[in-house]
Structure 1
Amino acid sequence: MNERITAAFADVPVCASVVGTAKVADFANAASRVGILAAVPVGQLAKIVPVLTGLEKILFVNIDSCPGLATDRGGVDFLHEIGATGVVSTRVAPIERARAVSMLTMHKVFVTDRSNLNRSLEAVKRSRPDLVELMPAPIIPWMSAQAREVMSPFVAAGFVTDRAGVAHSLAMGALAAASSDSGLWSLTRSQLSAGEK
Protein backbone atom coordinates (compact mmCIF):
# COMPACT_ATOMS: atom_id res chain seq x y z
CA MET A 1 0.00 0.00 0.00
CA ASN A 2 1.34 3.40 -0.95
CA GLU A 3 2.33 5.26 2.23
CA ARG A 4 1.71 8.69 0.72
CA ILE A 5 -1.89 7.79 -0.10
CA THR A 6 -2.46 6.14 3.27
CA ALA A 7 -1.16 9.23 5.06
CA ALA A 8 -3.33 11.51 2.93
CA PHE A 9 -6.48 9.63 4.00
CA ALA A 10 -5.44 9.36 7.67
CA ASP A 11 -7.53 12.33 8.84
CA VAL A 12 -10.06 12.91 6.04
CA PRO A 13 -11.15 9.57 4.50
CA VAL A 14 -12.91 11.26 1.58
CA CYS A 15 -11.63 11.57 -1.97
CA ALA A 16 -13.10 14.61 -3.68
CA SER A 17 -14.67 13.79 -7.05
CA VAL A 18 -14.27 17.09 -8.86
CA VAL A 19 -16.35 16.90 -12.04
CA GLY A 20 -15.78 19.88 -14.33
CA THR A 21 -14.36 23.21 -13.20
CA ALA A 22 -17.21 24.55 -11.06
CA LYS A 23 -16.00 22.97 -7.81
CA VAL A 24 -12.26 23.27 -8.26
CA ALA A 25 -12.13 26.15 -5.76
CA ASP A 26 -14.16 24.11 -3.26
CA PHE A 27 -11.61 21.32 -3.46
CA ALA A 28 -8.76 23.79 -3.15
CA ASN A 29 -10.27 25.01 0.13
CA ALA A 30 -11.37 21.61 1.48
CA ALA A 31 -9.51 19.55 4.05
CA SER A 32 -9.52 16.53 1.73
CA ARG A 33 -6.00 15.98 0.43
CA VAL A 34 -6.93 13.61 -2.40
CA GLY A 35 -9.06 14.38 -5.43
CA ILE A 36 -10.10 12.99 -8.79
CA LEU A 37 -10.40 15.60 -11.53
CA ALA A 38 -12.81 14.58 -14.30
CA ALA A 39 -14.51 16.07 -17.35
CA VAL A 40 -12.13 19.02 -17.63
CA PRO A 41 -11.14 19.94 -21.21
CA VAL A 42 -7.49 19.36 -21.99
CA GLY A 43 -6.91 23.08 -22.55
CA GLN A 44 -7.87 23.87 -18.95
CA LEU A 45 -5.94 21.06 -17.31
CA ALA A 46 -2.60 22.84 -17.65
CA LYS A 47 -4.00 25.77 -15.63
CA ILE A 48 -5.87 23.82 -12.95
CA VAL A 49 -3.51 20.93 -12.20
CA PRO A 50 -0.49 23.00 -11.09
CA VAL A 51 -2.66 25.12 -8.79
CA LEU A 52 -4.09 22.09 -6.98
CA THR A 53 -0.81 20.20 -6.74
CA GLY A 54 0.80 23.44 -5.52
CA LEU A 55 -1.61 23.22 -2.58
CA GLU A 56 -0.13 19.77 -1.87
CA LYS A 57 -3.21 17.97 -3.09
CA ILE A 58 -2.77 14.46 -4.43
CA LEU A 59 -4.51 14.91 -7.74
CA PHE A 60 -5.59 12.03 -9.94
CA VAL A 61 -6.85 12.97 -13.41
CA ASN A 62 -9.48 10.76 -15.01
CA ILE A 63 -7.83 10.37 -18.39
CA ASP A 64 -10.94 8.66 -19.83
CA SER A 65 -13.28 11.60 -19.25
CA CYS A 66 -11.37 14.77 -20.15
CA PRO A 67 -12.36 16.10 -23.61
CA GLY A 68 -9.41 16.30 -25.98
CA LEU A 69 -7.11 14.22 -23.79
CA ALA A 70 -5.91 11.03 -25.45
CA THR A 71 -6.04 7.85 -23.40
CA ASP A 72 -2.69 6.73 -24.78
CA ARG A 73 0.96 7.12 -23.83
CA GLY A 74 0.97 10.74 -25.05
CA GLY A 75 -1.99 11.62 -22.82
CA VAL A 76 -0.33 10.13 -19.77
CA ASP A 77 2.95 11.87 -20.57
CA PHE A 78 1.10 15.19 -20.90
CA LEU A 79 -0.45 14.74 -17.44
CA HIS A 80 2.97 13.91 -16.05
CA GLU A 81 4.49 17.02 -17.63
CA ILE A 82 1.85 19.38 -16.17
CA GLY A 83 2.35 17.92 -12.70
CA ALA A 84 -0.64 15.63 -12.14
CA THR A 85 0.07 13.27 -9.25
CA GLY A 86 -1.77 10.34 -10.73
CA VAL A 87 -3.98 8.88 -13.43
CA VAL A 88 -7.41 7.24 -13.20
CA SER A 89 -8.58 4.93 -15.98
CA THR A 90 -10.77 1.93 -16.67
CA ARG A 91 -8.02 0.71 -19.02
CA VAL A 92 -4.86 -1.18 -18.14
CA ALA A 93 -2.51 0.51 -20.66
CA PRO A 94 -2.69 4.11 -19.28
CA ILE A 95 -2.18 2.77 -15.77
CA GLU A 96 0.88 0.82 -16.83
CA ARG A 97 2.28 3.90 -18.59
CA ALA A 98 1.60 6.12 -15.56
CA ARG A 99 3.39 3.67 -13.31
CA ALA A 100 6.36 3.66 -15.74
CA VAL A 101 6.76 7.43 -15.27
CA SER A 102 6.39 7.15 -11.46
CA MET A 103 2.87 8.57 -11.24
CA LEU A 104 0.29 7.23 -8.80
CA THR A 105 -2.37 5.03 -10.39
CA MET A 106 -6.04 4.35 -9.81
CA HIS A 107 -7.94 1.67 -11.73
CA LYS A 108 -11.63 2.56 -12.05
CA VAL A 109 -13.86 -0.51 -11.89
CA PHE A 110 -17.62 -0.73 -12.48
CA VAL A 111 -19.09 -3.93 -11.02
CA THR A 112 -22.40 -4.64 -12.73
CA ASP A 113 -22.65 -8.44 -12.47
CA ARG A 114 -20.64 -11.55 -11.57
CA SER A 115 -19.00 -11.99 -14.99
CA ASN A 116 -18.04 -8.31 -15.04
CA LEU A 117 -16.57 -8.70 -11.55
CA ASN A 118 -14.37 -11.58 -12.71
CA ARG A 119 -13.09 -9.56 -15.69
CA SER A 120 -12.43 -6.60 -13.40
CA LEU A 121 -10.48 -8.75 -10.96
CA GLU A 122 -8.26 -9.99 -13.78
CA ALA A 123 -7.71 -6.43 -15.07
CA VAL A 124 -6.71 -5.20 -11.60
CA LYS A 125 -4.29 -8.10 -11.22
CA ARG A 126 -2.66 -7.01 -14.51
CA SER A 127 -2.58 -3.28 -13.85
CA ARG A 128 -1.37 -3.48 -10.22
CA PRO A 129 -2.63 0.03 -9.37
CA ASP A 130 -1.95 1.97 -6.19
CA LEU A 131 -5.71 2.28 -5.69
CA VAL A 132 -8.91 0.88 -7.16
CA GLU A 133 -11.94 3.14 -7.53
CA LEU A 134 -14.68 0.60 -6.91
CA MET A 135 -18.15 1.47 -8.21
CA PRO A 136 -20.91 1.52 -7.22
CA ALA A 137 -20.32 1.59 -3.47
CA PRO A 138 -23.62 -0.20 -2.60
CA ILE A 139 -22.36 -3.34 -4.40
CA ILE A 140 -19.40 -3.81 -2.06
CA PRO A 141 -21.25 -5.81 0.64
CA TRP A 142 -22.26 -8.32 -2.06
CA MET A 143 -18.67 -8.96 -3.08
CA SER A 144 -16.72 -11.80 -1.48
CA ALA A 145 -13.96 -11.03 0.99
CA GLN A 146 -11.53 -12.52 -1.54
CA ALA A 147 -12.72 -10.15 -4.30
CA ARG A 148 -12.41 -7.16 -1.96
CA GLU A 149 -8.88 -8.28 -1.08
CA VAL A 150 -7.85 -8.36 -4.76
CA MET A 151 -9.32 -4.87 -5.23
CA SER A 152 -7.58 -3.46 -2.14
CA PRO A 153 -6.71 -0.83 -1.36
CA PHE A 154 -9.89 0.64 -2.78
CA VAL A 155 -11.91 3.82 -2.71
CA ALA A 156 -15.67 3.25 -2.68
CA ALA A 157 -17.42 5.50 -5.20
CA GLY A 158 -20.87 6.04 -6.64
CA PHE A 159 -23.93 6.83 -4.51
CA VAL A 160 -21.81 8.10 -1.60
CA THR A 161 -23.94 11.11 -0.78
CA ASP A 162 -23.81 11.49 3.00
CA ARG A 163 -21.88 10.68 6.18
CA ALA A 164 -23.59 7.32 6.49
CA GLY A 165 -22.35 6.41 3.03
CA VAL A 166 -18.79 7.30 3.99
CA ALA A 167 -19.03 5.35 7.25
CA HIS A 168 -20.52 2.32 5.50
CA SER A 169 -17.78 2.37 2.85
CA LEU A 170 -15.08 2.38 5.53
CA ALA A 171 -16.84 -0.42 7.39
CA MET A 172 -16.78 -2.50 4.20
CA GLY A 173 -12.99 -2.19 4.01
CA ALA A 174 -12.55 0.90 1.83
CA LEU A 175 -9.50 3.06 2.48
CA ALA A 176 -11.72 6.05 1.71
CA ALA A 177 -14.96 7.03 0.00
CA ALA A 178 -15.17 9.18 -3.12
CA SER A 179 -17.96 11.72 -3.43
CA SER A 180 -18.88 14.67 -5.62
CA ASP A 181 -20.71 16.24 -2.65
CA SER A 182 -18.37 19.03 -1.56
CA GLY A 183 -20.07 19.06 1.84
CA LEU A 184 -18.21 15.81 2.61
CA TRP A 185 -14.77 16.94 1.48
CA SER A 186 -13.69 18.07 4.96
CA LEU A 187 -15.30 15.22 6.93
CA THR A 188 -12.78 13.81 9.40
CA ARG A 189 -12.54 10.35 10.93
CA SER A 190 -12.98 11.87 14.39
CA GLN A 191 -16.23 13.56 13.29
CA LEU A 192 -17.47 10.24 11.95
CA SER A 193 -16.56 8.45 15.17
CA ALA A 194 -18.23 11.09 17.31
CA GLY A 195 -21.29 11.30 15.09
CA GLU A 196 -20.77 15.06 14.73
CA LYS A 197 -22.63 17.10 12.14
Structure 2
Amino acid sequence: MGSFFDRIEINPIIAAINELDQLDEALDSPCEIIFLLTGNIFNLKEIANRVKSKGKGLYIDIDLIDGFSKDTWGLEYIVKNIYPDGIITSKENLVRLSKDLGSFTILRLFVMDSISLKNGIRSIKTSRPHAVEIFPGIMPKIMKMVYEKTNTPIIASGLIMDKEDVIEGLNSNAIAVSSNNKNVWYMEGS
Protein backbone atom coordinates (compact mmCIF):
# COMPACT_ATOMS: atom_id res chain seq x y z
CA MET A 1 0.00 0.00 0.00
CA GLY A 2 1.52 3.26 -1.10
CA SER A 3 0.93 6.90 -0.45
CA PHE A 4 -1.23 9.04 -2.72
CA PHE A 5 1.84 10.36 -4.54
CA ASP A 6 3.38 6.88 -4.94
CA ARG A 7 0.14 5.59 -6.45
CA ILE A 8 -0.11 8.58 -8.81
CA GLU A 9 3.38 7.83 -10.08
CA ILE A 10 2.22 4.33 -11.01
CA ASN A 11 -0.95 5.59 -12.74
CA PRO A 12 -2.03 9.25 -12.83
CA ILE A 13 -5.64 8.38 -13.68
CA ILE A 14 -8.10 8.22 -10.77
CA ALA A 15 -11.43 6.38 -10.98
CA ALA A 16 -14.17 8.64 -9.65
CA ILE A 17 -17.21 6.64 -8.55
CA ASN A 18 -20.46 8.57 -8.46
CA GLU A 19 -22.72 5.51 -8.83
CA LEU A 20 -22.16 2.26 -6.94
CA ASP A 21 -22.67 0.16 -10.07
CA GLN A 22 -19.32 1.57 -11.28
CA LEU A 23 -17.41 0.15 -8.31
CA ASP A 24 -16.66 -3.33 -9.69
CA GLU A 25 -15.31 -1.92 -12.93
CA ALA A 26 -13.19 0.61 -11.06
CA LEU A 27 -11.79 -2.14 -8.84
CA ASP A 28 -10.85 -4.17 -11.92
CA SER A 29 -9.36 -1.16 -13.73
CA PRO A 30 -5.66 -0.26 -13.72
CA CYS A 31 -6.46 2.82 -11.58
CA GLU A 32 -4.57 2.78 -8.29
CA ILE A 33 -6.90 5.27 -6.60
CA ILE A 34 -10.66 5.42 -6.16
CA PHE A 35 -12.44 8.70 -5.39
CA LEU A 36 -15.71 7.69 -3.73
CA LEU A 37 -18.39 10.27 -4.50
CA THR A 38 -21.37 8.21 -3.35
CA GLY A 39 -22.42 5.96 -0.53
CA ASN A 40 -24.13 6.21 2.81
CA ILE A 41 -23.82 5.43 6.47
CA PHE A 42 -24.99 1.84 5.89
CA ASN A 43 -22.74 0.79 2.98
CA LEU A 44 -19.58 2.85 3.46
CA LYS A 45 -17.71 0.25 5.54
CA GLU A 46 -18.45 -2.51 3.01
CA ILE A 47 -17.32 -0.31 0.11
CA ALA A 48 -14.12 0.59 1.96
CA ASN A 49 -13.39 -3.08 2.66
CA ARG A 50 -13.89 -3.99 -1.01
CA VAL A 51 -11.57 -1.21 -2.19
CA LYS A 52 -8.91 -2.11 0.38
CA SER A 53 -9.13 -5.84 -0.46
CA LYS A 54 -8.16 -4.96 -4.06
CA GLY A 55 -5.17 -2.96 -2.84
CA LYS A 56 -6.51 0.36 -4.13
CA GLY A 57 -6.34 3.72 -2.38
CA LEU A 58 -9.69 5.07 -1.14
CA TYR A 59 -10.40 8.80 -0.90
CA ILE A 60 -13.90 9.66 0.33
CA ASP A 61 -15.70 12.87 -0.60
CA ILE A 62 -17.21 13.64 2.79
CA ASP A 63 -19.55 16.24 1.26
CA LEU A 64 -21.32 13.60 -0.85
CA ILE A 65 -21.80 10.71 1.60
CA ASP A 66 -25.40 10.37 2.78
CA GLY A 67 -26.37 9.87 6.41
CA PHE A 68 -23.36 11.60 7.94
CA SER A 69 -23.48 15.14 9.17
CA LYS A 70 -20.99 17.30 7.31
CA ASP A 71 -19.34 18.39 10.54
CA THR A 72 -16.72 17.32 13.04
CA TRP A 73 -18.52 14.20 14.24
CA GLY A 74 -19.31 12.76 10.82
CA LEU A 75 -15.78 13.35 9.60
CA GLU A 76 -14.21 11.95 12.76
CA TYR A 77 -16.39 8.83 12.53
CA ILE A 78 -15.33 8.20 8.93
CA VAL A 79 -11.62 8.75 9.62
CA LYS A 80 -11.57 6.61 12.79
CA ASN A 81 -13.95 3.83 11.73
CA ILE A 82 -13.84 3.55 7.92
CA TYR A 83 -10.09 4.26 7.57
CA PRO A 84 -9.95 5.87 4.14
CA ASP A 85 -6.58 6.85 2.71
CA GLY A 86 -7.85 10.42 2.54
CA ILE A 87 -10.72 12.84 2.66
CA ILE A 88 -12.02 15.02 -0.16
CA THR A 89 -14.07 18.12 0.67
CA SER A 90 -14.87 21.58 -0.61
CA LYS A 91 -14.95 22.97 2.94
CA GLU A 92 -11.88 24.64 4.45
CA ASN A 93 -12.84 23.74 8.02
CA LEU A 94 -13.11 20.04 7.11
CA VAL A 95 -9.71 20.16 5.40
CA ARG A 96 -8.16 21.53 8.59
CA LEU A 97 -10.00 19.01 10.78
CA SER A 98 -9.03 16.11 8.49
CA LYS A 99 -5.40 17.15 8.75
CA ASP A 100 -5.72 17.38 12.55
CA LEU A 101 -7.06 13.79 12.51
CA GLY A 102 -3.98 12.72 10.52
CA SER A 103 -5.79 12.21 7.23
CA PHE A 104 -4.56 13.07 3.73
CA THR A 105 -6.68 15.96 2.45
CA ILE A 106 -7.87 17.00 -0.99
CA LEU A 107 -9.70 20.31 -1.35
CA ARG A 108 -12.31 20.35 -4.13
CA LEU A 109 -12.28 23.66 -5.95
CA PHE A 110 -15.03 24.61 -8.39
CA VAL A 111 -13.82 27.43 -10.65
CA MET A 112 -16.80 29.11 -12.29
CA ASP A 113 -15.49 32.66 -12.59
CA SER A 114 -12.68 34.98 -11.48
CA ILE A 115 -14.24 35.45 -8.03
CA SER A 116 -14.38 31.70 -7.32
CA LEU A 117 -10.78 31.42 -8.59
CA LYS A 118 -9.59 34.20 -6.25
CA ASN A 119 -11.50 32.74 -3.29
CA GLY A 120 -10.23 29.26 -4.12
CA ILE A 121 -6.60 30.37 -4.11
CA ARG A 122 -7.18 32.07 -0.77
CA SER A 123 -8.82 28.89 0.55
CA ILE A 124 -5.87 26.76 -0.55
CA LYS A 125 -3.40 29.10 1.12
CA THR A 126 -5.46 29.17 4.32
CA SER A 127 -6.25 25.46 4.68
CA ARG A 128 -3.07 24.02 3.06
CA PRO A 129 -4.52 20.73 1.76
CA HIS A 130 -2.18 18.02 0.53
CA ALA A 131 -3.69 18.36 -2.97
CA VAL A 132 -6.38 20.33 -4.80
CA GLU A 133 -8.96 18.89 -7.17
CA ILE A 134 -9.94 21.55 -9.73
CA PHE A 135 -13.27 21.56 -11.59
CA PRO A 136 -13.61 21.61 -14.50
CA GLY A 137 -10.35 19.86 -15.27
CA ILE A 138 -10.14 21.15 -18.83
CA MET A 139 -8.73 24.57 -17.95
CA PRO A 140 -4.96 24.29 -18.40
CA LYS A 141 -4.31 28.00 -17.90
CA ILE A 142 -6.22 28.03 -14.60
CA MET A 143 -4.52 24.88 -13.30
CA LYS A 144 -1.10 26.34 -14.04
CA MET A 145 -2.04 29.60 -12.31
CA VAL A 146 -3.35 27.85 -9.19
CA TYR A 147 -0.22 25.72 -8.96
CA GLU A 148 2.09 28.72 -9.42
CA LYS A 149 0.26 30.73 -6.73
CA THR A 150 -0.09 27.91 -4.17
CA ASN A 151 2.59 25.31 -4.98
CA THR A 152 -0.04 22.67 -4.12
CA PRO A 153 -0.37 19.48 -6.20
CA ILE A 154 -3.31 19.71 -8.64
CA ILE A 155 -5.77 17.03 -9.75
CA ALA A 156 -7.76 17.85 -12.90
CA SER A 157 -11.40 16.72 -12.58
CA GLY A 158 -14.66 17.19 -14.36
CA LEU A 159 -15.31 16.95 -18.08
CA ILE A 160 -12.27 14.72 -18.64
CA MET A 161 -13.60 12.76 -21.62
CA ASP A 162 -10.73 11.40 -23.68
CA LYS A 163 -6.99 10.89 -24.01
CA GLU A 164 -6.50 14.46 -25.23
CA ASP A 165 -8.09 15.81 -22.01
CA VAL A 166 -5.87 13.52 -19.91
CA ILE A 167 -2.69 14.63 -21.70
CA GLU A 168 -3.67 18.30 -21.58
CA GLY A 169 -4.40 18.05 -17.85
CA LEU A 170 -1.11 16.33 -17.09
CA ASN A 171 0.76 18.90 -19.19
CA SER A 172 -0.84 21.72 -17.15
CA ASN A 173 0.90 21.00 -13.84
CA ALA A 174 -1.76 18.47 -12.77
CA ILE A 175 -0.22 15.41 -11.13
CA ALA A 176 -3.33 13.35 -11.90
CA VAL A 177 -6.73 13.40 -13.54
CA SER A 178 -9.95 12.12 -12.03
CA SER A 179 -12.83 10.91 -14.16
CA ASN A 180 -15.98 8.85 -13.87
CA ASN A 181 -15.64 7.96 -17.56
CA LYS A 182 -14.74 4.25 -17.63
CA ASN A 183 -12.93 4.61 -20.96
CA VAL A 184 -10.54 7.13 -19.40
CA TRP A 185 -9.62 4.66 -16.62
CA TYR A 186 -7.84 2.47 -19.17
CA MET A 187 -5.57 5.18 -20.58
CA GLU A 188 -2.75 4.09 -18.32
CA GLY A 189 0.54 5.80 -19.00
CA SER A 190 -1.05 8.48 -21.21
Check whether TM > 0.5.
yes
Gaps of 5+ in 2: none
Q: What do the CA deviations read for 1:31-62 (whole angstroms, capped 9, x no partner)? A: 11112101212211111112212322211111
Instruction: State the secondary structure of the residue aligned to 1:64.
Output: helix
2:177 is aligned with 1:173: no
Q: Conserved in 2, the CA contact under 8 Å of 1:50 and 1:84?
A: no
In 2, Cα distance between equivalents of 1:186 and 1:104: 25
Please state how far the C-alpha of 1:121 moved relative to its aligned partner.
Answer: 0.6
Number of corresponding residues? 187
2:24 is aligned with 1:22: no
- Counterpart of 2:76 in structure 1 is 77
Q: Conserved in 2, the CA contact under 8 Å of 1:121 and 1:151?
A: no
Q: Percentage identity across aligned positions?
A: 20
- Counterpart of 1:109 in structure 2 is 109
Structure 1 pair 94/144, CA: closer, same or farther in 2 (3 Å)? closer
Q: CA RMSD in A?
A: 1.6
Q: Conserved in 1, the CA contact under 8 Å of 2:154 and 2:176?
A: yes
Q: Conserved in 2, the CA contact under 8 Å of 1:38 and 1:65?
A: yes
Q: Conserved in 1, the CA contact under 8 Å of 2:143 and 2:154?
A: no
2:37 is aligned with 1:38: yes
Please state how far the C-alpha of 1:151 moved relative to its aligned partner.
Answer: 6.1
2:186 is aligned with 1:186: yes
Q: Conserved in 2, the CA contact under 8 Å of 1:155 and 1:178?
A: yes
TM-score, normalising length: structure 1: 0.88
- Counterpart of 2:137 in structure 1 is 137
Gaps of 5+ in 1: 193-197
Q: One-letter code of the match for 1:20?
A: E
- Counterpart of 1:98 in structure 2 is 98
Q: What do the CA deviations read for 1:79-116 (whole angstroms, capped 9, x no partner)? A: 11112111111001111111112111100000111111
Moved over 6 A (4+): none
Greater displacement, 146-155 / 126-135: 146-155
TM-score, normalising length: structure 2: 0.92
Q: One-letter code of the match for 2:178?
A: A
In 1, Cα distance between equivalents of 2:154 and 2:144: 13
